[in-house]
Chains A and B, each alone.
Chain A
Amino acid sequence: MTTVRISDDAAALACGADAVAAAFAKAGCMVERVSSWGMHWLEPLAEIEGQGFGPLTAEDVASVLAGTSEKAIGTIAEHPFIARQQRFTFARAGKTRPLSLDDYAANGGWAGLKRARELGPEATIAEVTNSGLRGRGGAGFPAGIKWTTVANAPGPVKYIVCNADEGDSATFADRMVMEGDPFMLIEGLAIAGHAVGAGKGYIYVRSEYPHAITKLQSAIALAVPYIAPFEVEVRVGAGSYVCGEETSLLNSLEGKRGEVRAKPPLPALEGLFGKPTVVNNVLTLAAVPFILANGAQAYSDVGFGRSRGTMPIQLAGNIKHGGLYEVGFGITLGELVNDIGGGTATGRPVRAVQVGGPLGAFHPPADFPLPFDYEAFAAADGLIGHAGLTVFDESADMSAQARFAMSFCAAESCGKCTPCRIGSTRGVELIDRIRARAGRAADKVETLPQMHNARKAPRSLAEDVTLLEDLCETMKFGSLCALGGFTPYPVLSALKHWPEDFGVGTPAQEAAE
């Protein structure tokens, strides 16, 4: 009997994988539901004896089985998109059934936890520190240092919290880990618990990921004997973007409004329920089993500058070959968009690439030589964030994107600090005026005779733009967390690189005038 392997990842399901699987089963094949290879433009992708076929519909099944399908892509593992990657975290992607303990153990599973237990807590933390692993949620804080702080904090009760509130547009690597290789994440949590002396771990998953929630819950039930006495529990978010910020996530876990907490105290010392807490992103914890199993050196041998190891990069938006591409740091933005991503899906020239989700900067094609590295992107007024790339073609209106960034911040602000809560709303109004080239007349109060210092003349476009820059500066330096603090990145980068979309001449033109 022919065995056909088809993914049950949500991206495959969204493209009709269930119907294709049912058609293969009806044709008498044995169907195995596995994790996704990450080649999402080819989903639903079927694998028969290593050979790939995609994107399939139920009608293609007969020709695939007859060997006449035009959708054959050859050996999947040798496909250039896969062969050029360095898969540490996604080593099992496409190869294992997500909830099969046998598949997991046969493909290197639990080796990291076993070695961590042999090494003992201190040496485990040393391995993580030496690997150079940095927080994959966006801030890039060294994981080993965070773990050391928690391990040294006094008190019998400590927690591991896994941040799986993956709200950034263009990111889906966390979802793929949770749906495709949930045991790896659970193993990562167990290693962290062992290292810092925590007995309980929470995985906070956003409610928009129902498939990930179900898979994790099933996986945790199966993994109990492997990770005991450590316990893991899934908690479900409730549609709030800001809960991806670690302190509001902790408040949400405690059953409160997801409002940001001022730091200090650091969550590492006073986190969940006031206890020392490791808060790590899914990808950070998912990288840990590899590091422990293969040693810190194997991980840190790969990378660029101070960014060590691999990054699961997510190619999304208007891109021809969208999907997951895990590679060592240092690959350039241009290679990712053009060579690997194949340019835009519409075939039109790339206008902008937003790196790092709704809080990341827009980069013009001139930035394509930038190496993928925390420091290099920071130096170019951008950020890597959770390594999601949204590609826009030339039809994109960048002032509209800047407006969206502000309105998104207004919709999702937790409301605790003023620059974010009020600034974002004022930002939307300001960009609306700039887009309408409306200027701003003095309002009723400003024209009162008592208001001696208020200006009476309307504000010009140039003044509105300056005001927008001022507002962005206030938000950037005055906000409590990254939501208000980083919303200026997309706004200012759009204004800087595409001033024509705001009705402002390029700097060169203005100088000439």
Chain B
Amino acid sequence: MTNQDELDTILAGHMGREGALLPILHDVQAAFGYVSEEVVRRIAQALNLTRAEVHGVVSFYHDFREAPEYRPVLKLCRAESCQARGVEAMVAALPENPRVAVETVYCLGLCSVGPAAMIGHEVHGRLDAARLGALVESLA
């Protein structure tokens, strides 16, 4: 199936739904890894919106990427509760690894077992500098 067909399938699946734009963008993000300009154009056409409106939504939300991220992503929580458990010192001690994208999130809801991280849908708690380093290594 080409990307074109896949996009058509996604759009068809959401037509007629109330407030369809976010569910469509989630599906696009999951299928293609990012929301390209061409996809923005097609979504705008399908929902009878302007490209500016769709672009505005894509750029507003942290989850939607406008360019692909090919590296594996580790989402590290750096909100207050994980800060109180020492996440900032762990970040400072983390060796650079160009093969892994370590991204900041504000809260995974694991505040009682932080510092916490998420890889895909897999959650990791009670991290320390060594365990975080090992997690990043395991993705590289």
Question: Which A residues form the contact surface with B (CB < 8 A)?
Answer: 10-11, 13-15, 40-41, 43, 166-172, 174-175, 207-211, 235-241, 252-259, 273, 314-319, 322-323, 345, 354, 357-358, 388, 390-393, 396, 401, 404, 408, 411-412, 414
Contacts and interface: CB of A to CB of B under 8 A. Distances in A.
A238 B22 contact: yes
B112 A390 contact: no
Given A43-B113, A256-B53, A318-B85, 16 more contacts: A14-B126, A15-B113, A41-B112, A172-B111, A172-B112, A208-B109, A211-B123, A238-B62, A255-B22, A259-B60, A273-B18, A316-B114, A317-B84, A322-B113, A396-B84, A404-B80
A240 B111 CA distance: 18
Name which of A208, A256, A319, A357 has the most chain B CB atoms within 10 A of its CB.
A208
25 contacts: A11-B110, A40-B112, A40-B113, A41-B113, A171-B109, A172-B111, A208-B75, A208-B107, A208-B109, A209-B109, A236-B26, A238-B25, A238-B64, A253-B19, A256-B57, A259-B60, A316-B81, A316-B112, A318-B84, A322-B113, A358-B80, A390-B84, A404-B80, A404-B83, A414-B60
Interface in B50-95: 53, 56-57, 60-64, 75, 79-85
Contacts of A254: 18-19
Contact of B112 (A11, A238, A241, A392): A11
B28 to A, nearest CB: 12
Classify chain B's interface size.
35 or more
B49 to A, nearest CB: 9
A490 to B, nearest CB: 9
Contacts of B33: none
B109 A175 contact: yes
Q: Which 4 A-B pairs give the minimum distances between C-beta atoms?
A: A322-B112, A255-B21, A14-B125, A239-B62
Contacts of A13: 123
Interface of B: 18-23, 25-26, 47, 53, 56-57, 60-64, 75, 79-85, 105-114, 116, 118, 121, 123-126
A388 B22 contact: no
A390 B83 CA distance: 10
B105 A252 contact: no
